[in-house]
Amino acid sequence: MNRTQALVAEAGLLTVAGLDAVFNQPTEPWDVGVAIVALGALLFRRRWPVPVFVLTLPALALVGSVIATLVALYAVAVRYSDRVLLTGCGLVAAVGYVFPGLQFHYSRTDTVLTLIYATMTAAAPIFFGRLVHAQRELALRLEDIRAAREHERLLDAQATLAKERNQLAREMHDVVSHQVSLIAVQAGAIGVSTTDPHVKAAAGNVRKLSVDTLDELRHMVNLLRASGSRTAGLTPQPTLSDLDRLITGSGIETRVTGAAPEGIDTAVQRTIYRTVQEALTNVRKHAPGSTATVEFADDGNDLAVTVTNTRPTRPTLALPGAHLGLLGLHERATLLGGTVKAAPTGDGGFRLELRLPRAAGHR
C-alpha cells in the first residue's frame, strides 16, 4: 500500500468512526467531548495502542460509539501477543458495549443475546489483529528463508568456483609448468653443447623466455589459489618469512633496508610479498643486469614498501606484457585500504611503492 492509499484508508476509517459517533446523537457537552477525544486518539493508535484504547472507552460507555473502540482494540492485538492483556482489553470492551443498555430492562433471552453479541464484537478485532500479526510474522520469516537460501546459493557458487580455480591451478601447474621446464632444460643443454654463437644466443633467449614464463605461471597459479579460497589448495600462502628466499632465488643483486614491524596481519604480509615478487619479476624481465633495493619505511600511520631498480646494463628482450601483475597489486592494496604507485626514475630505473595503513596490518 502506497502513501496515498494509506492516507485514503486512514481518512475513511476516521470518517466511519465519526459517523458512528454522530448516529448515536450525543447531546451533552461531556458526551460530545469524549467522542471527539476518541476520534482524535485514533490518530496515535499505532504508536500508543493501549492508551488510545483506554481513551476510546468513555465514548463507548457513554455515547455507544463502538467503531473507535474496535479500531483501537485491533491496533492492540496487532502490536501485542500477551494473552492476559488481550483478554482483559476484550472483556473491558465487551462491558463497555453493554454499559449503555443497563438502563433498559431486557428479558433473559435478550440479555443472553446481548452478552453473546458484545463478546463476539469485542473478540472479532482481537482475532483479526492476531491474524494480521501472524501474517506479518510469516512474511518476515519467509523473507529470512529467502535470504538464507540466497546466501546458501552464493556459498555453493563460491565453493564451486573455488573448486574450479584449484583444478585449473593444478592443471596449469602439473601440465604447463612441466612442459615449459623441459623447454628450458633442453634450451640450456643446447646452449652448453653448441659452438655456433647464433645457436647459443637463440638457445639462451629460449631459456630466458622459458624461465620468465615459469615465473609468470607460478604467479598466476598462486593468484588462482588465493582467489578461490581462503587457504591455498596446493601450497601455503607466502609470508614475510619467505621474503629472503624469494630475493635470494631471484638472481638479482638486491639490497634490503629497514624491516617490517612485528605482528602485522598475514594478509598484509602476503600483499608485501606479492609486491616484492612482482617487482623483482619485472626487473628480471625488463631491466636485465640492473640491481634492486627493497626498502621498508614506517611513519606510524602508514607502512611503505618500495622496490627500486637501476637502469639495465644488458639488452632488454622484447617480452609481451598485459600489466596484469600491477593490476593485481592495485586490487590487493585496495582491499587493505592502501595504494600502489609505479613510475620510472630519472636515471632510467623504475620504482614501485606499496603503501598500507598501519590499521590494516595490526592484529
pLDDT tens digit sequence for 169-217: 666 665 666 577 667 777 777 887 888 888 888 888 887 887 777 777 7
Domain limit, last residue, from 85, 104, 123:
104
Distances (CA, A) of 347 to 133, 308, 318: 75, 11, 21
Average pLDDT, the chain: 79
Domain assignment of residue 323, yes or no? yes
Extract the C-alpha cell encoding 348.
632510467
Domain assignment of residue 28, yes or no? yes
Q: Which domain holds residue 278?
A: 238-363
Intra-chain end-to-end CA distance of the chain, in Å: 49
Percent of the chain with pLDDT over 90: 10
CB neighbourhood size of 79 (10 A): 17
Domain assignment of residue 345, yes or no? yes
Q: Indicate the number of domains in the chain.
A: 2
Tell me the average pLDDT across 218-231.
Answer: 60
Contact indicator for 46, 100 with CB cutoff of 8 Å: no
For residue 97, the model assigns a pLDDT of 77
Above 60 in pLDDT, residue 323?
A: no
pLDDT tens digit sequence for 232-286: 444 456 788 888 888 888 778 999 999 888 878 888 888 899 899 888 888 877 8
Domain assignment of residue 352, yes or no? yes
DSSP label at residue 176: I
pLDDT tens digit sequence for 11-46: 877 888 778 777 777 777 877 888 888 888 888 888
For residue 170, the model assigns a pLDDT of 62
For residue 353, the model assigns a pLDDT of 94
Contact indicator for 349, 309 with CB cutoff of 8 Å: yes
More confident residue, 225 or 130: 130
DSSP label at residue 288: T
Domain limit, last residue, from 104, 119, 140:
104
Contact indicator for 308, 345 with CB cutoff of 8 Å: yes
CB neighbourhood size of 360 (10 A): 18
3-state secondary structure of 232: coil
Extract the C-alpha cell encoding 219.
604467479
Above 90 in pLDDT, residue 352?
A: yes
- In CATH, what number is assigned to the domain containing residue 275? 3.30.565.10
What residues contact 71, with CB distance under 8 A and at least 6 apart? Answer: 13, 17, 42, 45, 56, 125
pTM, two decimal places = 0.43
- Give the separation between CA 221 and CA 281, rounded to whole angstroms: 15
Half-sphere exposure for 260 (CA within 13 Å, toward CB):
28
Percent of the chain with pLDDT over 70: 82
Domain assignment of residue 46, yes or no? yes
- Give the separation between CA 271 and CA 239, rounded to whole angstroms: 9
Listed in sequence order, the DSSP H helices in 59-196 are 66-79, 83-98, 108-171, 177-193
Contact indicator for 168, 224 with CB cutoff of 8 Å: yes
